[in-house]
Amino acid sequence: MGVKTYNPVKDIHGYTIVETLVASAILLGVLIPAAFILGKLTIGSYSRQVLVATQLAREVMEKTLASEEYHYREMDFQRDNKHWKVIREVNYTDGVVDIRVKVYRSKKHKPLVELMTLRIVP
Amino acid sequence: MLNIKRCNIFHLNRDSRGSALVLVLVIVTVVTVIVNIMLIGSLLHLHLIKTDLYQLQAQYLAEAGVYKTMWYLSGRGGKDYRWRPKNEVIELPDGYVCTVSVEQWGGYLRVVSTAQYAKATKKLQVLVGEKPSFPFQQAIFIGGTDYPLVVAGKNRIIGDVTLGKEGVRQGTLPGTPFQSEQLVNGRIYRQPQPKLPYFNAFLLESTMTKNQLLLDNPQGQEIFHSQRFDQTNWPTFEQNLMIYVHGDLYITGEVKIQGPGTLVSTGNLIIADKSKLEGSLWLISGGKMIIRNGVRITGCLLSAQGDIEISDRCKIIGQLFSSGDIILRNHAEVGYPAVIYSVGTMQHDKIEGKIILQDQAIVRGTIIFCSKNHQPPPKKDETIVIVEKEAKVIGVIYSENNTTVHGTVYGTVITGKFFLYEPPTIYLNWLKDATIDRTKLPNGFLLPLTFTKTPHLDVVIWQSCN
């Protein structure tokens, strides 16, 4: 009575559970969002850029083929809250015109997407 | 007792520590797996987007292959429309290449182009036709006579007219007053001794020749008696099979036959009862070909030594070749890109082979009549191409000889002369109760490769093979 008994089992057991939960919480709370954000920011962002660039390239190419406007042109687009530059290049050779549509993210030198096709001109 | 309990509890405690470690490891593993799945998901998403991009790039390269092939077929690069490459590699800009094949399909050419970009492969199959040249911009082009075009009854001619120096006049038939608002709603070009535009039957004739060869040389699966295909025994074509029937062939009972393949009958070929035939099927008859009762035929070539008769709301998207008459009646329809070709043979001052459209029959495409070896018109005048009242052509009529139009043509009529028979009188180059409206021919309408030496080609039908 009145004597406080030492209970090592209770203490150690409690500490282990806490340790486990904390470790789990760190892993779940930090690593998963981190991986998610990392994936989204790097691969996801790049995927999104390629997707938008592909859609833009297709759109410009189809409009070019439908309107038969076979001449050089630079175009600016705002898509997905980003600025895009699309360049249409044409090259005439002996009754044939080859058409290239290149899609750039601003201030980048290499096109993200490039499409090439060919048409006959009178 | 107390000591024993403590010992047991300490023992349990050691177990608990072990469990925690295992639990941590399990959680770490689960988290790692989840993280990996997320990353793989992102990578997979990127892969799908890239695959889509590569498919698109391959698609445009395959299209480039089609147009480069058409460029060669137009008479450039040392080739012409007779060029028939088979899986030939052609070079495209920027070092790209494409594999192309060309084969004849009736009056058109079929081009198959395959291109590869990264790991994506795209195969396109297209039907190639000819862009209409100047004569086909007219509503009427009369190239065989200096007689004036006499317009009688209630005609509507919308579009330009090219004909002889006598021009266009108004005429009155007994009991039929002139009712047209104007002679021609368009310009009239008069030429001394007008001639029909260039016509080259190479593709059409070689189709007829190939039909004859297939008839003369039995191949594939031979059946040595007349045959009836119905729902119990209809053939399935594998690897471009040919079935050769020595006798008549009947296809009845709502049969569905899928090509590609060739069906040859040395006798008559009768298709009836809502049967469906599709794919690149080639139907050849040594006798008559009769198609009736709601038959649907898509993408096929139909060829007969004798007459071809199509009736009873049958709908055909294909090409018809005959050495005899071709008769469409009772709501029969031949859809775009139709080619209806009859080659007339002179027999006793009379031409065998007519093209007749009756009873609301419709043709969307090109009707061509030419006499064998371009013999002069027969001494005995008769109509060779007839579009009767309520029949309609959306496209082009080309007849070296006489043409009668009482129905509607949305497009162009090119003919030696018009022919009108009001018993007991024959009227040469008269037109009565006809509608010929060039403005209603759809844009992008293409002809078979027959009307220019160096044709301007374009794609009639695109078809993706993968």
pLDDT at residue B298 tops 50? yes
pLDDT at residue B2 tops 50? no
Check residues B119 and B339 and name the one with the higher pLDDT: B339
Mean pLDDT of B353-367: 94
Judged by a CB distance cut-off of 8 A, whether residue A26 touches chain B is no
Interface of A with B in 66-105 (CB under 8 A): 91, 94-96, 98
Inter-chain CB proximity A54 and B56 less than 8 Å: yes
Mutate to test the interface with B, among A9, A56, A65 (most CBs of B within 10 A): A9
pLDDT at residue A12 tops 70? no
Q: What is the ipTM of this complex?
A: 0.79
Q: Nearest-CA residue of chain B relative to A12?
A: B13
Tell me the average pLDDT of chain B: 88
Min distance B93 CA to chain A CA atoms (Å): 7
Q: Which residues of A touch B43 (CB under 8 A)?
A: 43
Q: Nearest-CA residue of chain B relative to A118?
A: B64
pLDDT at residue B233 tops 90? no
pLDDT computed for residue A40 by the predictor: 67
pLDDT at residue B292 tops 90? yes
Mutate to test the interface with A, among B8, B36, B60 (most CBs of A within 10 A): B60
Check residues B17 and B464 and name the one with the higher pLDDT: B464
Q: Which residues of A touch B28 (CB under 8 A)?
A: 27
pLDDT at residue A30 tops 50? yes
Name the residue facing B35 among A32, A46, A95 (closest C-beta). Answer: A32
Inter-chain CB proximity B53 and A12 less than 8 Å: no
pLDDT computed for residue B38 by the predictor: 81
Model pTM score: 0.84
In tens, the pLDDT along B36-46 reads 888 888 888 88
Name the residue facing B27 among A27, A58, A122 (closest C-beta). Answer: A27
Angle, CA of B299, B302 and B307, to the nearest 5°: 150
Q: Nearest-CA residue of chain B relative to A30?
A: B31
pLDDT computed for residue B466 by the predictor: 78
In tens, the pLDDT along B217-231 reads 998 889 999 999 988
Inter-chain CB proximity B39 and A28 less than 8 Å: no
Q: How confident is the model at residue B59 (pLDDT cuts 50, 70, 90)?
A: very high
Mean pLDDT of B58-79: 95
Inter-chain CB proximity A9 and B13 less than 8 Å: yes
Q: Nearest-CA residue of chain B relative to A15?
A: B17
Inter-chain CB proximity A118 and B68 less than 8 Å: yes
Min distance B141 CA to chain A CA atoms (Å): 25
pLDDT computed for residue A1 by the predictor: 47
In tens, the pLDDT along B158-175 reads 999 999 999 999 988 888
Q: Does domain A8-120 have CATH number 3.30.1300.30?
A: yes
Q: Which residues of A touch B31 (CB under 8 A)?
A: 27-28, 31-32
Check residues B31 and B52 and name the one with the higher pLDDT: B52
pLDDT at residue B132 tops 50? yes
Q: Nearest-CA residue of chain A relative to B50?
A: A50
pLDDT computed for residue B65 by the predictor: 97
Judged by a CB distance cut-off of 8 A, whether residue A37 touches chain B is no
Inter-chain CB proximity A24 and B24 less than 8 Å: yes
Judged by a CB distance cut-off of 8 A, whether residue B57 touches chain A is yes
Min distance B15 CA to chain A CA atoms (Å): 10
In tens, the pLDDT along B374-392 reads 565 555 667 689 999 999 9
Judged by a CB distance cut-off of 8 A, whether residue A19 touches chain B is yes
Amino acid identity for residue B89 in this structure: V
| Structural domain boundaries in chain A | 8-120
Judged by a CB distance cut-off of 8 A, whether residue B18 touches chain A is no
Inter-chain CB proximity A47 and B31 less than 8 Å: no
